[in-house]
Amino acid sequence: MAPPPPSPPRSLTSVSLRTPLSPLLFLRPASCNPSAVSGSCSSGACRGVRCSAANKPSPSTAPGTEVSSTSMAKIRSEVLSPFRSVRMFFYLAFMASAGLGTLIALTQLIPALSSPARAAAAGETLKGLGIDVAAVSVFAFLYWRESKAKDAQVAKLTREENLSRLRIRAGEGRPPVPLGELRGTARLVIVAGPAAFVTESFRRSKPFLKDLMERGVLVVPFSTDGNAPDLQFDEADEEEEEAAAAAGKMKRRLWQLTPVYTSEWAKWLDDQKKLANVSPDSPVYLSLRLDGRVRGSGVGYPPWQAFVAQLPPVKGMWSGLLDGMDGRVL
């Protein structure tokens, strides 16, 4: 009996890439050499970028496994603006009422204009017709403005949902988790640019590491040129860590988050670059609130001192009261 034919080899599917968030950024990170990618990058150049996972689709992209970003954004929009649907309903109701009044006025005006006996009532009919037309116009404008605001909010929340589903790794040997897992516990700052820019951002943050730690700030460094930034503490920092081991570890933890599935991060950043009309090679930063919404972004180095001045601590007597005082969203 002939053996069964071998099953056909499984074809590789293309990576399902995510869509955007608010005004930002830049260069697609240069891929590591395909020959260097083998389960885990052994070369030092790949250490900070997790090239081994760059071309693997995130588990969250599997169809049917979770609510889509747009659906979740619509739910969040309803929560953030609970009375918008009520206002839009009443605008439609008033438009329908005024439109019905317009039709009635027209049916009264045409006979009045065609018959001299009814010409005396034409003035009042014209006045009512003008009021009805004005009402339809006003409520149509209000409905259009509300609908436009809703669409803009849903589009923004969709971009934020896409951002929250990008994956990071919190330290060596730990499994990747969605960025959204840190909602309510950390204020994330995404630093994206060439490795030299990320290294300089790290150096500028050193004087504020303790204050940033108290405010729940965690940094996601994303190198766009494929090189690993130098995120090493100097000898003074090592001595300080020996004197206060717990604090030292916490300070190091501020820069331990690493983006994985970097092709998805690159796609998301490319979409932001197009929306913001920012030069492709411009290094940028993006800061998030505790609830995961965008509170600030810009080209250049993150304003660490401003973050310390503006953000309240996440612990202590004021933590619960000031959790929402992250600043207005963009």
Taking a C-beta distance cutoff of 8 angstroms, is the pair 123, 256 a contact? no
Which of 301, 289, 326 minimizes the C-alpha distance to 191?
301
Distance separating alpha carbons of residues 289 and 313, to the nearest angstrom: 13
- Least confidently predicted of 12-16, 97-101, 115-119, 178-182: 12-16
192 has which bridge partners?
222, 284
Per cent of the chain over pLDDT 90 is 23
Each residue's pLDDT tens digit, 195-228: 999 999 999 998 898 899 888 899 999 988 888 8
Is the predicted pLDDT of residue 100 greater than 60, yes or no?
A: yes
179-189 burial, b at 16+ Cβ within 10 Å, e below that, comes to bbebbeebbbb
Is the predicted pLDDT of residue 53 greater than 90, yes or no?
A: no
Q: Quote the pTM value.
A: 0.63
Each residue's pLDDT tens digit, 124-169: 788 888 898 999 999 999 999 999 999 988 888 888 888 889 999 8
